Amino acid sequence: MPDFLNEAQLELQGRAHDLGQRLAGLDVDPDYPEKLRAEIRSLSKEAGIFSLTQPRDYGGLQGSSTDLTIVRDSLGKWNVGHFPGVFGPSPGLLGQASAELKEAFLDRYLSGEITGGFGFTEPSDATRHTWATSDGEDLIVNGAKSYVTGGSDADFVNTLVELDDGGPAMVLIETNRPGVSIDRRFGSLDGSHHASFVFTDVRVPRMHLIGEAGTGLSRALAQVNSVRMAIAADCVGLCGFVCELIANHIKKVEDKGHNSHAIRIQFGRMRAQTFAVRSATYRTARLIDAGENSVNEVMASKILATETATDLVDSAIQIVGGEALVESHPLASIFRRVRATRLAEGPTDLLHANISRGYLDLDVGRI
Ligand SMILES: Cc1cc2nc3c(=O)[nH]c(=O)nc-3n(C[C@H](O)[C@H](O)[C@H](O)COP(=O)(O)OP(=O)(O)OC[C@H]3O[C@@H](n4cnc5c(N)ncnc54)[C@H](O)[C@@H]3O)c2cc1C
């Protein structure tokens, strides 16, 4: 499909395609996840992909939004974009922390020595959002976060709290601080693992604030935006994977001399839908790279890509039949993964409501 890529981008696309092919051919032994991760990391480094998610200041290649979209799309087409270890850890919110906080955590985090989680979602029965009061040079945090991915093994959680004297703020809380407890560990349909945390009078130095007090929500949302783009680009690639799978299915049906007319019509619809989400996502990546405020476009791309990927994989399962629901079939695992993307990083309805609000109430919506 033509994406108006320049020479460097076409070269990157070629490398990502080759990496995807190699990763797809790996022997995945679930008993040795660390060995697999190391192998993936090494192949990704060799392909010059691993550090695209890391800033130049930290020795990374700092790929543009378009670069990352190209890579994720290409890997998604091989159904390997979700493999652990393909991308190096990026500083995320920590990149905006004070020099002192960065010195204490960032290098160790980027080298993989310590891991972190993101605490945003609250229990549905919470009577008050997680909050903090000031006590001299410390903050005292109380509340709960209900869905922290990787929380069970995390050394810290970047947590959205409501400061009594300053509004929403992001605070880095180490998970071994007195008063921090995990009250539930759970897995979700897509295969990822999470923990819910309770904070009871947790004392944290004020210097653990990430950025100014009062800017927590916008910082958290900026972080969410780049993850939304990553999800959208991966789903665009998965749409391509599903289309290819159905194209092969049609060939098999026709080789047996069966009539494939009905499937061909569905296949045409899938290709047209894939073209639409692909165009929207690449356009959004270019807007981001041009420095435009792209919040609405990112929301729309995430909605379109996740909803379309879900629709396509569901149709593909129906076309292929019961075989597609066998655990080892790629469509079965894609089905589980894409289902989660319609909720994670903002459920579809909520994003639709935000797009409406931007246009109707805030005069900032332009899509
Ligand atoms: C795989 C996965 C990983 C996750 N990882 C993290 C993580 O690391 N950190 C973290 O903090 N959270 C994480 N989450 C939680 C995720 O952010 C929330 O599930 C999501 O924001 C939805 O919140 P909720 O589950 O409370 O559902 P709700 O917000 O209660 O939504 C339920 C339904 O109500 C609808 N709805 C809610 N509000 C409105 C509204 N105002 N207008 C219209 N419709 C509305 C939604 O669209 C949805 O259909 C993860 C979730 C998943 C599935």
Rg (CA), the chain: 22
Decide: 334 and 313 in contact? Cβ < 8 Å. yes
CA dist 302 and 68 (Å) reads 15
Each residue's pLDDT tens digit, 35-62: 899 999 999 999 999 999 998 988 899 9
Mutate which of 299, 307, 349 to test ligand 1's pocket (most atoms within 8 Å of Cβ)? 349
pTM: 0.94
Q: What is the pLDDT of residues 294-323, one digit of tens each?
A: 999 999 999 999 999 999 999 999 999 999
How confident is the model over 86-113, as pLDDT tens digits? 999 888 888 888 899 999 999 899 888 8
Q: What is the DSSP letter of 128?
A: S
Give the C-alpha separation, 129 to 201, whole Å: 14
Taking residues 350-366, report their average pLDDT: 90
pLDDT value of residue 76:
98
Q: Using a 6 Å cutoff on CB, does residue 120 contact ligand 1?
A: yes
Q: In angstroms, rounded to a whole number, what is the distance separating the alpha carbons of residues 170 and 157?
A: 10
The CATH architecture of the domain made up of 217-360 is: Up-down Bundle (1.20)
Mean pLDDT within 202-222: 85
Pairing of strands 131-135, 167-174: unpaired
The CATH superfamily holding the domain 98-210 is Butyryl-CoA Dehydrogenase, subunit A, domain 2 (2.40.110.10)
Q: What is the largest CA-CA distance in the chain?
A: 79
pLDDT at 58: 84
- Cβ proximity of 332 and 324 under 8 Å: yes
Q: What percent of the chain has pLDDT over 90?
A: 84
User: Is the shortest distance between the CB of 340 and ligand 1 below 6 Å?
Assistant: yes
349 lines ligand 1 (CB under 6 A): yes
Residue 1 confidence (pLDDT)? 59
| Structure token digits, residue 345 | 């990083």
Q: Is 30 exposed, middle or buried (0-12, 13-18, 19+ CB in 10 A)?
A: exposed
**Is the beta carbon of 226 within 6 A of some atom in ligand 1?**
no
Ligand 1 pocket check for 147: Cβ under 6 Å: yes
pLDDT band at 218 (very low <50, low <70, confident <90, very high): confident
pLDDT at residue 165 is higher than 90: no
What is the whole-number distance in angstroms between the Cα of residue 264 and the centre of ligand 1?
A: 36
Ligand 1 near 244 CB (within 6 A): no
Compute the average pLDDT of residues 248-269.
98
Cα of 309 from ligand 1 centre, angstroms: 19
Burial of 173 (0-12, 13-18, 19+ CB in 10 A): buried
Amino acid identity of 68? L
- Nearest-atom index, ligand 1, CA of 124: 26
Distance of CA 302 to the CA centre of its chain: 10
d(CA 213, CA 224): 19
For residue 121, give the ligand 1 atom closest to its CA.
11
Residues 6+ apart with CB under 8 A from 362: none
Please give the pLDDT value at position 39. 94
More confident residue, 365 or 240: 240
Q: Which letter does DSSP use for residue 90 in this model?
A: P
